[in-house]
Amino acid sequence: MMIKALAGLLFHSLVWGQTPVISSLWDGVQADLQKERYEQARQKIGDILVECGVLNPDDSPECFARAKFALADTYYKEYGRGKIQPIREMAGYHFREFQAAYPFHPQAAEAQFKIGMLCYRNILSPYRDTEFAERAQEEFSILLRNYPQGPFAEDAKKLIAKVREVLAEHELYVAQFYFQKKSFQAAASRLEELARDYPDFPKLQVVLNLLEKARKRAP
């Protein structure tokens, strides 16, 4: 009876692309992540990738996919703890590598969402550089185009709305700067673009009032 039970457990593991060795390694990865031992977790994932190579052809693709996603996710989790830029770059690199290899995998949408979050977490105030805000908007927009019905679509829409507000606030800040410097034509041009591109901006009335003043004073 015991032998049959163990045989059944082993068969179930193999069906899902796992062996007792791989299952043990996955347990170790989870334990390392709980204690924030990210490099040790990555070493075990490397061992899992080696083990994936000895599975039969039907099981190995899913085994590789899960391991590659987990590798990217270790960098994502580590970046969330300390915002070290090289770690962010490694997370983005491995998530994109995962997407390129497995574009239709169930976790592909999550990979795209986390690429967007890597940018979103770097957004500075509206009064500083907007590079990461623009990149976050683009990455979340890619998610909505590629996975419109996916589990991360609603969150992406909400985050795009927040990013757009940051970008609009930045444009208003620049326009106000031009206005204060009496560069009224430059201010008007900026405000016109702002009103056109961000009609949902909460401060739209402020924009329109300032635009009217700038037009009246422009040469």
Assigned token pair, 145: 């185009």
How high is the pLDDT of residue 166? 97
Residue 100 has pLDDT above 50, yes or no: yes
Residue reference for tokens 């924030």:
36
Measured distance CA(62)–CA(193) in Å, rounded: 48
Report the pLDDT value the prediction gives residue 160, as an integer from 0 to 100. Answer: 98
Q: Where are the alpha helices (DSSP H) in the chain?
A: 2-15, 20-34, 38-52, 60-82, 85-101, 108-120, 131-146, 153-180, 184-197, 204-217
Q: Which amino acid is at 55?
A: L
User: Longest Cα pair distance anywhere in the chain, in angstroms?
Assistant: 93
pLDDT of residue 124: 85
CATH-assigned architecture of domain 116-219:
Alpha Horseshoe (1.25)
What does the pLDDT look like over 132-187, one tens digit per residue? 999 999 999 999 999 999 999 999 999 999 999 999 999 999 999 999 999 999 99
pLDDT value, residue 12: 35
Q: pLDDT by residue (tens digit) across 120-129?
A: 999 988 888 9
Task: Please give the model's pTM, rounded to 2 decimal places.
Answer: 0.87
Strand, coil or helix: what is 158?
A: helix
Nearest to 126 by CA among 163, 176, 158: 163
Select from 117, 112, 96 the least CA-distant residue to 147: 112
Question: What does the pLDDT look like over 50-72, one tens digit per residue?
Answer: 999 887 766 788 999 999 999 99
Encoded tokens for 73: 């996710």
Q: What confidence category does residue 94 fall into, taking pLDDT thresholds of 50, 70 and 90?
A: very high
Q: Which amino acid is at 29?
A: V
Cα–Cα dist 164/120, whole Å: 12
Domain ranges of the chain: 1-105, 116-219
Which pair of structure tokens corresponds to residue 33?
């992540």
**Tens-place pLDDT, residues 5-42:** 333 333 334 334 578 999 999 999 999 999 999 999 99
